[in-house]
Amino acid sequence: MGTGDDREEGVLASKRTATRYQILVELTARQPAVSQSEIADAIGITAQAVSEYLQDLVARDHVRKLGRGRYEVTKEGVDWLISQTTTLRDYTQYVTEEVVGQVDTVAAIATDDIGEGTPVSLSMRAGTLHATPGDTGSHTAVAITDAAEGSAVGVTDFQGLLEYDFGRVTIISIPSVTRGAVTGDELVGLSRTLDEHDLLAVAGTEALAVADALDREPDIRFGTPEAVREAAAKGVDVAVLAVTSEQSAITDRLTDQSIGYEVVELAGS
């Protein structure tokens, strides 16, 4: 994973992080006099669990205890709450616009012949929306055009959620030109790693040179941080050759979306 400190995880990274976020919201709204039982009822956990979370928040310097039943959210706590709220808002916007489909019409690839007005089930395959005749899937819609198998079909009237996993992102750290070249043995290992992913992205001239040495044509060369995020968010596995100086822009974008990743360090990087 790209982050080892769970204080930096996105609010949806774990149930514990989400609960910590909820409790901090309730504390901010109720401070300084706080009823642990009221917070427990509000978010659906036990008062004992609230007490344990409060101790954790105090240990993190997100909350200051003023006395029995009195707490104050610190500046650090407010900053964390704001950062998580921003991440959550971005994610909610993504889900609303691209996953749930709160739009009038979208296009999908027909997996079989589809007639106008018939129900379809939607699925994500290799980062592209597909429509299958029938309404047995978890995310359904209605076709508004006729379509032959393999062609685009317009769909609307969405129901349910589109279920799929985020793609796997592996970032291979490429040394800068001043720190030496990638060795032949490393190139062999890299080639095997790239074969395990759907797309290849590069960031930096040295990374492009390594792709050329491997006789690989990158799928993503420009706007790499955003393109990698979007591909992974649509369930596509992406390998990224990135010069060390380019990595933070990519990892920050993935972290903002709560998308996991792995960084592979080469000997010279």
Top pLDDT among 185 and 133 is at 133
Q: How far apart are the first and last CA of the chain?
A: 19
Q: Which residues contact 263 (CB under 8 A, 6 or more apart)?
A: 2, 171, 173, 247, 251
Residue keyed to tokens 């592979």: 264
- Answer yes or no: is pLDDT of 1 > 50: no
* One-letter identity of residue 83: S
Read off the pLDDT of residues 225-247 as tens digits, 9 standing for 90 and up: 999 999 999 899 999 999 999 99
- Answer yes or no: is pLDDT of 173 > 70: yes
Q: What are the structural domain ranges in the chain?
A: 6-98, 106-160, 169-265
Top pLDDT among 260 and 267 is at 260
* One-letter identity of residue 71: Y
Read off the pLDDT of residues 25-69 as tens digits, 9 standing for 90 and up: 999 998 888 888 889 998 999 999 999 999 999 999 999 998 888
User: What does the pLDDT read at residue 163?
Assistant: 77
Read off the pLDDT of residues 124-167 as tens digits, 9 standing for 90 and up: 888 899 999 999 988 999 999 999 999 999 999 888 888 778 99
β-bridge partners, 72: 64
Structural tokens at position 139: 């995310």
Top pLDDT among 50 and 181 is at 50
- Topology given in CATH for the domain delimited by 6-98: Arc Repressor Mutant, subunit A (1.10.10)
Read off the pLDDT of residues 54-107 as tens digits, 9 standing for 90 and up: 999 999 999 999 888 888 999 999 999 998 888 888 777 777 666 654 457 889
Residues in the chain: 269
Reported confidence tier of residue 4, pLDDT bands at 50, 70, 90: very low
User: What does the pLDDT read at residue 9?
Assistant: 59
- Give CATH for domain 169-265: 3.40.1010
What does the pLDDT average to over 170-198?
Answer: 84
Is the pTM higher than 0.85? The answer reads: no
Parallel/antiparallel/unpaired status of strands 139-143 and 152-160: antiparallel
Parallel/antiparallel/unpaired status of strands 152-160 and 238-243: unpaired
What does the pLDDT average to over 160-186?
Answer: 82
Same-fold call for 6-98 versus 169-265: no
- Answer yes or no: is pLDDT of 7 > 50: no
Q: What angle do CA 242, 243, 244 make, to 5 degrees?
A: 110
What does the pLDDT average to over 205-213?
Answer: 93
